[in-house]
Chains A and B, each alone.
Chain A
């Protein structure tokens, strides 16, 4: 190999997941989305039941957990953060932490505001 030959893009790239792994992640993402919608249907939607009512206190945390799982899977495997240089992870995760804290703080604040408004 010519020592002065320009390296290809592939030479710079760490090993990315295989096609089979990409498909498996796709199936998991689809199942998690189905779980989200199913959870909504059985808790508040058209198929709501007494069992679904018992799930209501856990509805929002469960949805956030499922969303976080999907988010992490896409970022780690499809966006290749698991294999790529850690600097990319840092550049992405630092603002993401700030964004998540802002959103979660407002969810809690809104929940308290709503509870106080109801209690008068």
Chain B
């Protein structure tokens, strides 16, 4: 095989690095800026719950009109979701280590657990959004509601896409199509999954803990 054909088959660039891996890192870099704008938007508008209408996120509140609002954020539930998302990052690196060693059983086990954690997180967010809407906080309530739902909603969408990606890889692994030589396919998905995790590491304290 000529060097040129060899480079094309293995997606090598002039840097000697795999172009798919460089592409996912470039994508992740651009996603950093995307989420920075959403987090900044949230920080600018989060004080709008002070002027109402709508519930306070962290404490009980009686509006000047006498309307009583209960706190809507449930820290224990979100903490559980956060812990599971962190564990899912551990599980996906263990899945990758097993894929690189050629252990199909280990790959399927750890990747399956990663998917379960991701599904729980998405379920937690669906429950949380429904709960907030019932308590009176929607996209249209105030700028706090709009910026909160846009930020966490975009993150939830990323998690959902990641779960779908990991499910397709689990099926590929089940069919024996992720041998050690093709473990880079899983590594690229794992990088995306870790990024989703690190974004939540920032969102969790900023949205849920800083009052």
A residues at B contact (CB < 8 Å): 4, 6-10, 12-13, 16, 19, 22-23, 25-26, 29-30, 33, 36-37, 39-41, 44-45, 59-60, 63-64, 66-67, 70-71, 74-75, 78-79, 85, 87-88, 91-92, 94-96, 98-100, 102-103, 106-107, 110, 114
Q: Residues of A contacting B29 with CB < 8 Å?
A: 91-92, 94-96
Q: Is the CB of B93 within 8 A of A22?
A: yes
17 A-B residue pairings within 8 Å (CB atoms) = A9-B182, A9-B187, A12-B18, A22-B97, A26-B87, A26-B90, A60-B210, A74-B201, A78-B93, A78-B190, A87-B22, A95-B29, A102-B36, A103-B43, A106-B44, A110-B43, A110-B44
CA distance A99 to B75 in the complex (A): 26
Question: B88-109 toward A: CB 8 Å interface, digit per residue (1/0)?
Answer: 0110111001001000000000
Closest 9 CB pairs of A and B: A99-B36, A26-B90, A95-B29, A8-B181, A63-B205, A40-B209, A95-B32, A99-B32, A91-B25
Q: Which residues of A contact B184 (CB under 8 A)?
A: 9, 12
**B54-113 contacts to A (CB < 8 Å):** 58, 75, 79, 82-83, 86-87, 89-90, 92-94, 97, 100
Q: B residues within 8 A CB of A64? A: 205
The reply to whether B100 and A9 form a contact with Cβ atoms under 8 Å apart is yes
Total contacting residues, chain B, CB less than 8 A? 57
Kindly list 20 other residue pairs between chains A and B, CB separation below 8 angstroms, not including A12-B18, A70-B86.
A4-B1, A6-B6, A6-B9, A8-B180, A16-B100, A19-B97, A22-B94, A30-B83, A40-B209, A44-B58, A60-B210, A74-B197, A79-B194, A79-B195, A88-B17, A92-B32, A95-B30, A103-B39, A103-B202, A106-B43
A103, B40: Cβ atoms closer than 8 Å:
yes
State the majority secondary structure of interface residues on A.
Answer: helix
Question: How far, in Å, is B79 (CB) from chain A's closest CB?
Answer: 5
Q: How far is the CA of A79 from the CA of B86 in the complex (A)?
A: 13
Contacts A29-B86, A66-B205, A67-B201; is A78 near B28 (CB within 8 Å)?
Answer: no
Of B1, B18, B90, B180, the contact of A78 (CB 8 Å cutoff): B90
Contact of B191 with A by CB under 8 A: yes
Contact of B40 among A33, A102, A114 (CB under 8 A): A102
Q: Are A88 and B181 in contact (CB under 8 A)?
A: no
Cα(A95)–Cα(B31), bound, Å? 9
Of B10, B30, B82, B187, the contact of A33 (CB 8 Å cutoff): B82
Seen from chain B, the residues whose Cβ lies within 8 Å of a Cβ on chain A are 1, 6, 9-10, 15, 17-18, 21-22, 25-26, 28-30, 32-33, 35-37, 39-40, 43-44, 47, 58, 75, 79, 82-83, 86-87, 89-90, 92-94, 97, 100, 180-184, 187, 190-191, 194-195, 197-198, 201-202, 204-205, 209-211
- Residues on B with beta carbons closer than 8 Å to the beta carbon of A85: 15, 17
CB-based contact A10/B90 at 8 Å: no
Minimum CB–CB distance from B196 to chain A (whole Å) comes to 11
Given contacts A33-B83, A94-B29, A96-B29, whether A10 and B183 have CB atoms under 8 Å apart is: yes
B86 touches A30 (CB 8 A): yes
